[in-house]
Every structure is written in structure tokens, then in C-alpha cells.
Chains A and B, each alone.
Chain A
């Protein structure tokens, strides 16, 4: 029988904490990773760690995690000086992150395909990429990033500043691949990109910020799922999680090693008070969202918002424990708190973190395929969670809404901040449109059924691709693609066009002109339609409710090929959430980004063609502001 798990030792926080007396004891954790057969590298089903160092132009010897010596000792001993441990560590953290996503999403992660470009167009025969490539020592730079072009994670190493800062060793080597935060962060970029490749397009200030924020949220919540670390912190702060220091910082050692800064790379949720020197949680600032445009700073607002929700939930959920422990007063006596109480508090916190992580991940399936805003994400969070856990006895949704309100993030055109009005609404369709929609659902039903039974990722990916193609043909030419169904439905082409409009796309063989900024945006005819994703999901909620769904996302690209604004492109589309229940398929939500010429279009054009709200944008002077410029993680992560 094969073992269930592979236990691998690794750092809990950054390696630097192993050399600090107060954190030494907690800085080694066991990562329990689902067993899989591995080749040296490690190379497994999902990732391949290739330790090639182009700066020294050499390969480092790959670790064999199946060797007796390694298996018997729960992996190699954490060590900065051992490249084989580095490989083991990136493997452990990446696999842990993937597992969290698969659990929450209820399906297998399939990486972005290798987009082959032929004469400026994507080749239809996109190549399936089975394994994410991981380079633990890819450059000599204080940088780490995900690249969608290579479907790879690149981690840098660098020499720490020559002065003593925090726990770093002056002049020593610092490895970004040894920070669990950085590894989780980059892995999340890769997973998010596999779901929504268009989130690489900088169409509004929230998009690059969202990529960053979401990656940090995953890193942060994964850390808060570590009971051992929580116990240590709760013991030190007597249960007050808003008073800890190291838990709320990301990539502390990395930040400290840089010549430029003291403290963590990111501290979205708190910071040291300059006067008292004490760590303090940041109080929500409702104005920040309006005034902060730089991607990391704006992203930090979303991280802080999710963390605010976490804190509210924690304080709410541990009230009873504190009362029990204090004969009802709720006020803890001086001195250390009882170890049993520490354990219970830590368990609660870890539980909340793990649920919140699932909620945050699951919400991705309820996000629009393009041009996301934080407000969209709040609505996605609320809708996804309502679907799966309708009761919400523990107040997760209220805590989230509270937190978003406190940070001043409001969705577009939502009347009240209640669970009811924040939910995406079921589609508002006419009878004919419902007919069209049902026809579409019926047309793909059988394929979805087949996919739901598959376990091989390559086969699944292939089927998804087939299904995408099929749907694409249907949307463009329903009459010839599904002759029988079309005839039976008695729909007209006009009805079909009406339906397409409701899902954010159009069939248009004429060019069209939209006035903009004293000039005109001349969109070319026949905007290209893309069925981006068809994904099957089978998931379980907090109340043990099961849900089987198909997530379909479509986009359409409207290009300006002539005139003053040549090169500009604007996309529309939607994500459709389809519930499968007792053999029936029902489109539950259409999360729509219309071809909104009055609001979204001019807003995006203002943002991309010039500088939107501020005149300063973090783009290199080479970036051509007229293109729908992409988020470049290498630049975004450079420090």
C-alpha cells in the first residue's frame, strides 16, 4: 500500500527566525503533503523542480525524496546552505498551496497552456502543460516571480546588505525560495493565471492589485493555519492576535536583508509604531481605497480587509472560551494564560483561517473573467459562500461585509451592503433567452458528465479544450453546430443575438465607432470571441452541503485597428455559474462585463491611454500606454 502522506520538514516562517531564540523552537514545521511518486528534482505530477542556476551556469544536484535517508528523517534538515533542502522546501510549500486550492475549488489544477504564437495570433493547438516549472535559483536578484510565458516560477537569491538589520546575516546569501510566504505567493500567481489569464491585463487599478493581494491573502491565511505557530503567538500575546508581530508580516527576512528597508517586505495588516516600537494592527481606513493607486499598496488594502474579517471572526468566536476561562468576566488575569486555553484559541484561529482561505479561493469561480474590481470580488465572496453554506451560523459573510465596509470598498451600483443585495443576481432573461440558455446547457451536458468522471489531468485538459471549441462554435453558429437542437428550439437568429448580448458578447460584422475624448474609437468588425474556460467543480461546504457546478467563462475582444487610438482593445464577457442538480443544468449566475460604452469603456480608456486618477503609474518609460498593457510580475516584484 502506498503511504497517504509524505512528511517533509521545512521552515515555518523565514529561515532567519531559526536563529532567534524566541522563534527558534517554532520555526521548523512538518509539511504533510499528499503522497505521490517522485523523480529526483523533485519531479512529480504537478511540478518539476529544476535547479539550474544560470548565473553560475550549473545544475545543483537534485534531491531524491524517495531515498531511504530522506524518508526516514521526514525530509532533509532545514538548512540554508543545502541546495537539496531548498528543492525539498519549494516542493513542500507549492504542493501545500495546490492542495488548498484543489480542496476549495473541487477540481484539479491545470496549468495555463503553452500559448504558441503564430504571426501575432494564438495558435489553436495550444500545448498542454502538465508540470509547473520551478527554478529555485534562477537569478541573482532580490526578486521572485511567476512567468506565464514559460509557465514557471523563478526564485532569485542575493547578498544581504552589509549591515545588521533584523535577523539577517550581513553580507550573507538570502534565498527567496526559502520564504514560505514568497513561495506560496508566487504559486498563487500561477494558479490564478491558470484560471483567469486575462487578469494579467492592466485594465483598471484593481487588476494588478488583485493579483498581488490575492497571492498575499493565500500566503497569510496558510500561515494562520499553522496551529503550532499560532499557539506560540497566542501564548506570547495572551490571546490577543492583534498584538503579535511576526505572524502578520510577510517575507520578513527578505525585507530585512534589503539595503532599502527595515522589516518585512509586506506588512499589509500592521506595522511597528515609530514612537513605541510596538507592532500594531492597522486600523481600517475607509479613504485608502480611493486614494491609493500603486499596485502593492492598493493590494495591501484588500489583504488588510480580509485580515480584518479574520480578526472580527476570531474575537467573536473566542468570547465564550475567554468567559469560561475567567468565570464569566472575560478579563484574563495577569501572567501567562493556561496552556489548554492557548491550544483551544489556536485551534479556533486555525479553523477560521482555513475556512476563510476556502471561501476566498472558491470565490474565484464567481469572478468575471476580465477587468475585476475589489467590489466584484466582495460580491463573488458573498455569492459563493451563500451557495455552499446557506446558513452561515458563524458569521463569515457578515464579518467579510463588515470588513469591506470598514475599508471603504463598495461594489459598483449596489444599493445596500446586505448579503441579499451583494449576491450576484440570477440572470434576468426573457423566455426566449431562457430557451437559448437551456439549449446551450443541454448541448454540453453529456460532455460535462464525461469530464466529471475523469481523473487524469491531461485527459481532463483535453476534454475541456474540446468543450471550449464546441461551445465556441455553438455561440457563433447555433444553427449549423447543433442542427437538431436548434430546429427543436424554434429560436431565430435574432433571439440568439438577444441571448448573446445578455452574456456580454455579440456577433457583429460591421465596424463600429464610439466617441471618446474629442475623437473616436473605431472598433474593427467581427470582434473575436473566446470561450476561455469550461471547468467542472465538485465541492463541499461548511455545512456539508455538496455542490456540483460548471463554470464557463467567455470573453470577446474589441480592437481598434485604425485612427488615433489604434492598438487599443476592450474586452467584454462573462462567467457563467451553472449548477448541476439531479441531471438538470441550470445557469445560476451570469457575472457580466458588458460592452459598456458609457461607463466601463471610457474608464478603461482613460486609465490605459493616460494615467487615470493619478499622473503617476508604476510602468517603465518603455511601456506603451496605448496597449492593453500586461502586468509584468518581474517588474512588479523587483525591489
Chain B
């Protein structure tokens, strides 16, 4: 009996992730679905996701969908579980795996605190997004667009409405998706933490092992896209949440969304300053040079806040490595992990494993690498990639160049040029892209299996 893994990278047609893995060992089969989502929530997106979900149903027919993995709360990873919720429900998946951050258990104090700050932060940002559209802040579409684009990862559009009764914002799509996922499995969801190692269910004899790498429990790594030495990051999330809240308050005052009495909460000075005759000259100087005015410069902070939250969410990615035990070959699914998540792997204390085992062992044995964050520049750690030396290495990049977000010019650069170059070198050009399929590299001939593609997915098989 030999283990083989069939991997289908579904072709979302836009920015998004959806992977169906089928582990086979003799008669045994285990299906694992990692994410299903896309960035835009257009009708087209929804139809596509439904089509994909139906195909998944077809693929697992006669068996079962053993595991659904939801890596992190971004639309491009989870939206399918809402848009095609009924199809997924009808598949009756066995169990859902989420990260420890999603664990609702009240004993999980850290996760709850983070979740609370996270929700406040996102809520403030959504309101800021609405404030930015008020006439007072009109004129700076750049910031508005950037904030809106980033909020797009939460499925939030420019014109979202608050409830007429409560003025509350509806729950965002990825949060709804997570809730749906938590109820979707026959068994209770499994919440994974770094350092967890267990046998893949459905494959007996421990022939396939699962290693959990991220998201880090060390807050320092969780909070930082690019951690720097000697910095502590405790409470950075809640600090930024507070900043967002304060910013929102100031914006609301200016736009007239709220009325504040004159003497209420003056900040930064206790007493308001009186006008004097000196005042006019300064005001005149200010008004004279329009190009030097700073009316709206301070709202640039909104983009910083949105970017930070985006990085945080990416770093909260559940990262899994699947090992075919006999030959030690590893399939690495890095979700959207950014530098902080990657760096934390070094410090993982692995349960029940020999002391000389460490994350580099996994990197060295990686034969299939699902690139972090669609191949963006800060989502593959150089040290990790330099250690991916297995001669069978194949790289998957879920990227869609026709997506306006990915297009060169105004969007994100995915995949980042030099990372792409390095990935090509390491894999000897054995790269499978969601948009283009795969290159006709000679090095494919060295593998027992060739990739293939059709309209719906790119397919490849790892053999023991």
C-alpha cells in the first residue's frame, strides 16, 4: 500500500483560495478541503463558488468530506461557505478545523480578548469607511479607496448600511462564514494550536501526519507583519483598536454625525483657546497656500489602521503541514501567513516529537508548497524557502492576474517578482498557477506524475 495525495486547486477566477486534497492509502480515502472563498462578492463570484462547491460534492461522492479547514477570517478564503452554504451543508462534512483563535470556549481567555478587540477594531474601521464618504471628508478618494479595498477582505462594500433600528452594522461575511463552519460538521469543530501533531483521520496506521505551525500563540509574532528586534507588542491590537475608535469619534464630530457639547471632552487642551488679533495673520498665512494645507492629511491614518488589521488577520492564518510518514514528504499549506507567523515556527515546542525535530525538517521535506498570501512579498520567509531543497518540490500559487486587485499598476503585486524568481529556481519551474495553469518545464519529467488542468481546477498528485 502506498499513500498518494491528489490536490485540486480550484480556479476561482479572481483573488481566492480553494484546495481539495484527497489522501489515498489502498482502499482508504480522506478528503480535506482547505478554504473556499473569493475576494469579490459579485453574482459572478457567487455562481463560480457554487459551481466549485457542486464539483467538490461530486468529487467526494461515494466517500465523505472528512475535513474542512477554515484558515482565517478573510473573504477570499471563506466566502464560499456562505455563498454556497447549502451545497456544503448537503455534503455533510465530518468535521471542521479552525485555529485556536476561533475557539469559543470561555476558558480560552487570550482568544476571547483578541476576538473582542478585533471586533471593536473592525467595527470602528467600518464606520470610518462610512465617515470617509461624508461630504466633510470628500476630496480624498485615494484613502477611501484604499480603506475600502482592504475592507473588501471582510466582504465589506463601500455602501454598507446600518440597521435602521439599532444603527448597528450587520456581521461581516467572513464572521458569518466562520459561524456557519462551526455548525457544519457532524462532529464538533477541532481548534488547532501550533505544536499539535496528530494522525490524519481516515488513514490508518498513522501513514499521514498533520503538523500545526500557525497561528502563533506568542502575541509578538501574531501582531507583527515585520517584527523587529527588541520590540514588545503586547496590547498592540487593543491599542490600535482604541486608536481607531478615537479617530472615528473625531471624524464623527467633524462630519456632524454626532453632536458634542462644547465643553465635553476637550482634547488635547483643557480649555478652548480664545481668538486674538494675532490670530488673523496666522489664519491668513494658512489659507494663502492651498498646496500646504493639512485639512485631511490626518485621515491617512485610516489606511494605516486598515493595513494593520489586514496584516493581523493574515497572520492569524492556520498553517498546516501534511506528512506522508513513510517517505517524510511534506505538503505545506501556508494560507496567508505573513512574516510574523512564519518566524514563530522556530519557537514551537512540538508535543511528543524527538528534540532534534524542528520546523526546518518540515521545510526540507516539502514537496508541495502552497505559497503564502498568493505570493505576496512578505508572506514567504526567505529562510524557509532557502530550506525547501527537496528535489521534487512543486509550487502552487493561487493567483489570478485578471483580478483588478492583482493587476500590475494599481493593485497588489502578486506574485512578487523576486519571490517568483526564487520559487521558479527552487522548483525548477514546476509552478502551478491558478490563472495560467503550469509551465512546460522539463523538470516535470523527473516526477512520476504530471499536472493537468481543466476549466474548473488544476490538478496534481503527490506520491509516496
Contact = CB atoms under 8 A, between A and B. Distances in A.
B296 A54 contact: yes
B298 A141 contact: yes
Given A59-B282, A259-B239, A294-B226, A634 B300 contact: yes
B276 A83 contact: no
A135 interface: yes
Given A81-B269, A260-B235, A52 B226 contact: no
Interface stretch (B205-213, B315-323, B405-413, B449-457): B405-413
Given A610-B418, A638-B304, A260 B281 contact: no
Contacts of A140: 246-247, 250, 267-268, 298, 301
A62 B278 contact: yes
A60 B270 contact: no
B378 to A, nearest CB: 5
Interface stretch (B5-13, B62-70, B285-293): B285-293
B258 to A, nearest CB: 14
B60 interface: no
Interface stretch (B71-79, B161-169, B380-388): B380-388
Most central of A133, A157, A297, A616 by chain B CB within 10 Å: A616
Interface in A610-638: 610-622, 624-626, 634-635, 638
A173 B267 contact: yes
Interface in A213-268: 258-262, 267
A135 B294 contact: yes
A44 B422 CA distance: 55
A302 interface: no
A149 B293 CA distance: 11
B326 interface: no
For the complex of A and B, list the 5 residue pairs with the smallest distance between their C-beta atoms, beginning with the closest.
Answer: A610-B418, A259-B239, A139-B298, A40-B278, A173-B268
A296 interface: yes
Interface string A69-95: 000000000000101000000000000
A619 B298 contact: no
A143 B275 CA distance: 28
A296 B228 contact: yes
B366 interface: no
Given A59-B279, A610-B417, 12 more contacts: A41-B281, A50-B286, A58-B273, A62-B278, A147-B297, A161-B235, A175-B268, A259-B235, A259-B238, A261-B231, A294-B226, A622-B412
Contacts of A60: 269, 273
A308 interface: no
Contacts, number: 186
A297 B230 CA distance: 10
30 contacts: A40-B278, A43-B281, A50-B285, A52-B282, A54-B296, A58-B273, A59-B286, A60-B269, A61-B279, A62-B278, A83-B269, A138-B297, A139-B298, A140-B268, A150-B294, A156-B298, A157-B268, A173-B268, A260-B239, A261-B231, A296-B228, A297-B229, A610-B419, A615-B377, A615-B382, A616-B339, A616-B381, A616-B382, A621-B310, A621-B377
A609 B236 contact: no
A130 to B, nearest CB: 11
Interface string A406-440: 00000000000000000000000000000000000
Nearest to B381: A615
B254 interface: yes
Interface residues of B, number: 70
Contact of A615 (B225, B230, B272, B419): B419
Contacts of A296: 228
Contacts of B292: 133, 150-152
Given A50-B285, A50-B286, A81-B270, A615 B378 contact: yes
B435 to A, nearest CB: 17
A39 B301 CA distance: 32
A62 B283 CA distance: 10
Interface string B235-250: 1101100110011001
A619 B410 CA distance: 15
A61 B283 CA distance: 10
A40 B281 contact: yes
Given A259-B235, A260-B234, A294-B226, A59 B250 contact: no
A159 interface: yes
A175 B269 CA distance: 11
A238 B178 CA distance: 62
Interface of A: 39-41, 43, 48, 50-52, 54-62, 64, 81, 83, 114, 133, 135, 137-141, 143, 147, 149-152, 154, 156-159, 161, 173, 175, 258-262, 267, 271, 294, 296-297, 517, 606, 609-622, 624-626, 634-635, 638
B285 A260 contact: no
Contacts of B412: 621-622
A353 to B, nearest CB: 25
B376 interface: yes
A610 B377 contact: yes
A612 B267 CA distance: 44
Contact of B246 (A159, A258, A517, A613): A159
A54 B297 contact: yes
A566 to B, nearest CB: 9
Given A618-B226, A620-B307, A625 B301 contact: no
Interface in B369-417: 376-378, 380-382, 385, 408-410, 412-413, 416-417
Given A615-B385, A622-B412, A259 B282 contact: no
A158 B300 CA distance: 15
Contacts of A610: 377, 416-421
A54 B294 contact: yes
B257 interface: no
B232 interface: yes
Most central of B228, B246, B292, B416 by chain A CB within 10 Å: B292
Contacts of B297: 54, 138-139, 147, 154
Given A615-B385, A624-B413, A626-B408, A161 B298 contact: no
A296 B229 CA distance: 11
Nearest to A624: B413
Contacts of A156: 298
A39 B298 contact: no
B282 A51 contact: yes
A611 B377 contact: yes
Contacts of B410: 624
Contacts of A48: 285
Given A615-B378, A635-B304, A64 B228 contact: no
Contacts of B339: 616
Contacts of B301: 139-141, 143, 638
Contacts of B298: 54-55, 138-141, 156
Contacts of B352: none
Nearest to B377: A611
Given A83-B273, A150-B291, A615-B419, A625 B296 contact: no
Contacts of A606: 418
Contacts of B416: 610-611, 615, 625
B146 interface: yes
B233 interface: yes
B172 to A, nearest CB: 20
Given A621-B376, A625-B413, A638-B304, A61 B236 contact: no
A143 B289 CA distance: 24
A287 B256 CA distance: 55
Contacts of B238: 259
A262 B233 CA distance: 10
B249 to A, nearest CB: 10
A262 B229 contact: no
A114 B292 CA distance: 10
Contacts of A624: 408-410, 413
B295 A54 contact: yes
A262 B232 contact: yes
A114 B268 contact: no
A62 B286 CA distance: 12
B214 to A, nearest CB: 16
Contacts of B442: none
